[in-house]
Structure 1
Amino acid sequence: MEQTSLQSKKLFTNKNLFKLFLPLIIEQFLEYLVGLADSIMVAHVGEAAVSGVSLVDFVMALLISLFAALATGGAVIAGQYMGKKQMKESREAVDQMVWFVGIFSIIIMVIIYLMKPLILNGLFGQITDEVRGDANTYLMITAISIPFLALYNVGAAIFRTMGNSKLPMKVMLAMNIVHAIGNAILIYGFNFGTAGVAIPTLITRIAAAIIIITLALNKRNAIYIKKSLKHKFNWPMIKKILSIGVPFGVENGLFYLGRIIVLSLVATFGTAAIAANAVSGTIVMFQVLPGMAIGLGLTVVISRCVGAGDYEQAKYYNKKIMRVVYASHVVSCVLVLALLPFIMNVYGLSEAATTLATQNIWWHAGFMVVIWPLAYTLPVTFRASGDAKFPMMVAILSMFFCRIALAYLLSIYFNMGMFGTWVAMFIDWIVKAIIYVCRYMSGKWTTFHAI
């Protein structure tokens, strides 16, 4: 009877979930497909170019994660207001989010340019002059796109909050087609080298941001951005957004900072290790892609449930969506491993780099299908309910004591080389999974409120 009651008043039908999650998976697939295409095309230039681009991409990924976190903060607040049927407050939340993230991203862009020597010479550790030169070219061009990356993330979050994940998918599809064509023309046609990857990246990020923000200004949307260049910051509302966005941003930021620190360790093992780490890092994203995409939709679902004050539905959808994540990961891993020989052949890396990359990808698949959803999908539910500080603290401690400390211990003192840094990552997943399962079972996450 209880199950029947829950089914009759569900906030999301299976059709609703399908329409939310499928475009998100396609969008994420297209995004990572461009990353794969970039790395394959730049491999045509040489392993130094692959290494240089991958090093900068780690920094850009760090920034993207910060903007995505702030956008998530706005999406959670707007979603909870929608769950309460308070549409005016929901619109105010997204308006404040756009202005705050836009200004913040411009400041970040300026800082990146000012800190360029430190990034290239200090953060990346011991790299060859050739790799440094390629990294410098790529960074100088793509750093201009930072504010546009931020605005696209915010715009996409606005439409996802409304349950319209199809529109961001269409924008991403169009931009990725342009991106791929631009890469092919500049790299193969004009021999632009690393710049041939950077220029299309910049152009498409600018275009994507302009398109999605323009569409978000439409007053026909349930929530929209105000058409005005005059803005007054609503600090109480911004504080609510930051209560979710900042802990998640710190968590994401330290995650990528930890990866960059580990990357400087990987760099000491030579160009083959850097290239293998970069290539395997790109390929395994296709394994984890469904979980990451569904996590974006889970934020929408849980925030609506919590806004409506219905934690039973929040638990119901968490379990339901976790099962979907597990099933989709099995499919994605099987597909990636089946195509792996072909993909590695396309890269054309050295035999040493190919062997290392293949090893990483197989082990990643094994651990991911069992552990990853518990370590990364569960905390999405916590954040969407307002419990953002707990996963932040767990992620910080686990990052330093597992991913970083163990990476140095295993790779250097146990002579595991670059693969030791991947083993440390798997241990990090296991530790977080155990802690998050205990948190979820305790029910403490249901006592938090973001609005």
Structure 2
Amino acid sequence: MLQLNFRTRKQAFLDKYLTGESIDYRQIVSLFVPILVDQAFIIGLNMLNTAMISSSGVAAVSAVNMVDSLNIFLISVFIAVSTGGTVVVAQYKGSGNDLMVSRAAASAVTSVSLLALLLCVFIGIFHNLTLTALFGSASADVFSNAKTYLVGSSLSYMGIALTEAVCGALRGIGRTRASLALSMIMNFSYVLLNVLFINLLHMGVVGMALSVNIARYGAAVCALFYLMKMDTNLHVQLQDLLKLNVAMIKRILLVGIPFAAEQLFFNGGKMLTQVFIVSLGTYAIATNAICGSIAGVLQIPANALALTTVTVVGQCMGRRNVEDARKFTKTFLGLSACACLLMGMIVVPLFHPIVSLFHPPEAIVPDIFKIVILTSILQIPFWSFSFLMPSALRAAGDSKFTSIVSMLSMWLFRIVLGYILGIVLHFGIVGVWLAMNCEWGVRGAIFLRRFYGKKWYRHRVID
């Protein structure tokens, strides 16, 4: 009897909160689970990579963290355009126009690849000038490692661009299992190659650069093979990828460019924060790297929900069903907050076993613990409104507003407050992270106000 009541209540919950005219709970679960597994592997494997490179010394992990902040800044540009492709593909899928779904997917892959190529050339020419301008105050051994890793990792941009563009198109039509498989190929091979080059051959930062290139280009080959030979939905051919469909690229860029600008300013702000973290010393850089890895673990389910939101809301808006878009966004916000609470309850008790993976100097462990506790608590009310909500707004075409808000909140709150707390008031790296958490709350409040208005769903992404 109790089991029957539980099943009845579960079914009532699923029907009420996760089923609508546009999509039902079975489709949402089939979308979410592969994305969740993907995020868990990406974050978990990245944490292992950070742990592995930490065995090469504090200078190596500090250099990788510094360069990765720059890599994220640059890679975010073409990932943003890839997200624009996901939105356009999802809306065409929702409207039932399969021909335009195929054209949107091909245009997303083409435009993202061209952007990646330009960024690779840019870093190849200006890598030394860029590192000197941003991290010139770093110690000589950290700077040398950073230069090697930046040049090596920039060569892999085309590989990850192709893979991300294909995965974005697949998520747009709901093929998250195929997207998961491609992501796992890239990330598993990266870890295995790191074990070979770093742990067995002791190649340090050079080994990590080799690993990232082999893994990303291997995944790109698999992605293109799947797209052109195995896919039964998108029907993309090689000649489609070589065409420049200007009209379709404009639609993708309409969503992608504001998001790319947001990511540039947002990650640019994070890089500026990294600059004054560098001034706090090598231990502060290492603390920031380790805390970033652990924070990624805390946010795995919430990130997966944010990615699912783009596809679900995009398909709802393709059908012009605003009520479904509102309902699913509210449900995902609640689930995301619960997920943040659950992850905090799991990670905090396991803090010491987790942090020991990074071999940190004893002097920085108390600061790492303070930041993990702070983030675990404040992400529950703030993270979902700050990151999942703009995914819903962007999926409806409200990209310009979300980008402007994110840029302003980053520069007016996170950077200024981070500098005041971290440098002026001498709270150090803990002050920088406190400022970041406060900025989540400010940004989330603005997005929530927008969501309860009408302007966000009045955009027309597709005809």
Common fold by TM > 0.5: yes
How far apart in 1 are the matches of 2:242 and 2:65? 38
Q: 1:186 to 1:136 in 2, by over 3 A?
A: same
Q: Percent identity?
A: 27
Cα offset for 1:278? Answer: 0.8
> Counterpart in 1 of 2:168?
157
Determine helix, strand or coil for the equivalent of 2:96.
coil
Q: State the 1:136 CA deviation.
A: 1.4
TM-score by length of 1: 0.95
Alignment CA distance shift 1:88-1:137 (3 Å): same
Matched with 1:288 is 299
Q: Does 2:247 correspond to 1:248?
A: no
Other-structure match for 1:395: 406
1:276 aligns to 2:295 (yes or no): no
Aligned partners of 2:123 and 2:151 also within 8 Å: no
From the superposition, tell whether residues 366 and 86 of structure 1 become closer, same or farther in structure 2 (CA, over 3 Å).
same
Give the distance between the partners of 1:294 and 1:173, measured in 2 at CA: 18
Cα shift at 1:181: 2.2
- Tell me, in whole angstroms, the C-alpha distance in 2 between the residues paired with 1:352 and 1:125: 25
Q: Distance in 1 between matches of 2:346 and 2:155?
A: 36
1:317 aligned to which of 308, 315, 328: 328
- Kindly state the Cα deviation for residue 68 of structure 1 after the two structures are TM-superposed: 1.7
Deviant stretches of 4+, over 4 Å: 3-9
CA contact (8 A) 1:124 1:260 kept: no
Q: Is the 8 A contact 1:273 1:356 kept in 2?
A: no
TM-score normalized with structure 2 length: 0.93
The CA deviation at 1:88 is 1.0
Any idea what SS the aligned residue of 2:239 has?
coil
Deviation at residue 188 of structure 1 after TM alignment:
2.2
For residues 7 and 328 of structure 1, do their structure 2 counterparts lie closer, same or farther at Cα, with a shift above 3 Å needed? closer
Partner of 2:178: 167
Amino acid at match of 1:369: I
Aligned with 1:69 (options 64, 80, 96)? 80
Q: 2 CA distance for matches of 1:68 and 1:83? A: 22
Deviation per CA, 1:357-376: give whole Å up to 9, x if none: 22111101111011110111
Amino acid at match of 1:17: I
**Distance apart, 1:37 and its partner CA:** 1.0
Instruction: Give the residue type in structure 2 aligned to 1:403.
Output: R
Aligned equivalents of 1:176, 1:108: Cα separation in 2: 22
Q: CA deviation at 1:171?
A: 2.5
Query: Against the structure 1 CA distance between its residues 224 and 63, is the aligned structure 2 distance closer, same or farther, given a 3 Å change threshold?
Result: farther
Quickly say closer, same or farther: Cα 1:194–1:6, change in 2 above 3 A.
closer
CA contact (8 A) 2:148 2:205 kept: yes
Q: 2:66 aligns to what?
A: 55
Cα 1:176–1:74 change in 2 (3 A) is closer
User: Which residue among 335, 346, 361 is the counterpart of 2:357?
Assistant: 346
Alpha-carbon displacement from aligned partner over 1:265-289 (angstroms, at most 9, x marks no partner)? 0011111111001110111011112
The alpha carbon displacement at 1:341 in A equals 0.6
The residue aligned with 1:378 is 389
Choose the corresponding residue for 1:15, options 12, 23, 26: 26
Name the counterpart of 2:134.
123
1:179-200 deviation digits (Å, cap 9, x = unpaired): 2222122222211111222211
CA distance in 2, matches of 1:394, 1:180: 36
Task: Supply the RMSD in Å over aligned alpha carbons.
Answer: 1.9
Residue range with higher mean Cα deviation, 364-373 or 173-182: 173-182
Unaligned regions of 5+ residues in structure 2, if any?
Answer: 1-13
1:178 aligned to 189, 193, 196, which one?
189
SS at structure 2 position matched to 1:225: coil
Displacement of 1:7: 8.4
Name the CA shift for 1:4/1:361 in 2 (closer, same or farther; >3 Å): closer
The answer as to 2:431 corresponding to 1:434 is no
Q: Indicate the residue corresponding to 2:415 in structure 1.
A: 404
Residues 174-253 of structure 1: matches in 2 within 5 Å?
174-218=185-229, 220-228=231-239, 231-253=242-264
**Shift of residue 4 of structure 1?**
8.5
Q: Distance in 2 between matches of 1:226 and 1:292?
A: 32
Match of 2:377 among 354, 361, 366: 366
Q: Give the letter aligned to residue 370 of structure 1.
A: P
User: Residue in 1 aligned with 2:41?
Assistant: 30
Q: CA deviation at 1:219?
A: 7.2
Paired residues of 2:186 and 2:215 also in contact (CA < 8 A): yes
Q: How far off its partner does 1:230 sit?
A: 7.3
Q: Following the alignment from structure 2 to structure 1, what is the Cα–Cα distance between the partners of residues 406 and 420?
A: 19
Q: Is this contact kept in 2: 1:93–1:237, CA < 8 A?
A: yes
SS at match of 1:442: coil
C-alpha distance in structure 1 between counterparts of 2:71 and 2:301, whole Å: 21
1:349 aligned counterpart, secondary structure: coil
In 1: Cα distance, 2:456 partner to 2:351 partner? 40
Q: Structure 1 residues 209, 8: closer, same or farther in 2, change over 3 A?
A: closer
Q: In the alignment, which residue of structure 2 is the partner of 1:101?
A: 112
Question: Separation in 2 of the partners of 1:305 and 1:282?
Answer: 34
For 1:328, the equivalent position in structure 2 comes to: 339
1:226 Cα deviation after fit: 2.2
SS of 1:217 mapped into structure 2: helix
Distance 1:224 1:269 in 2: 53
Give the secondary structure class of the aligned counterpart of 2:398.
coil
Aligned mate of 1:419, from 423, 430, 433: 430
**Conservation of the 8 A alpha-carbon contact between 1:125 and 1:264:** no
The yes-or-no answer on 1:80 pairing with 2:91 is: yes
Structure 1, 230-239 or 310-319: larger mean CA deviation: 230-239
Give, in angstroms, the shift of residue 109 of structure 1: 0.3
Query: 1:243 is matched by which residue type in structure 2?
Result: L
Cα distance in structure 1, aligned partners of 2:188 and 2:216:
12
The Cα offsets for residues 170-226 of structure 1, whole Å up to 9 and x where unpaired, read as 222233332222212222221111122221121111111111122112475222322
Answer yes or no: is 1:302 the counterpart of 2:313: yes
Query: Distance between the aligned counterparts of 2:261 and 2:412, measured in 1?
Result: 16
1:5 Cα deviation (Å)?
11
1:381-437: per-residue Cα shift (whole Å, max 9, x none)?
A: 111001111011111111111011111111222121122211211121111111111
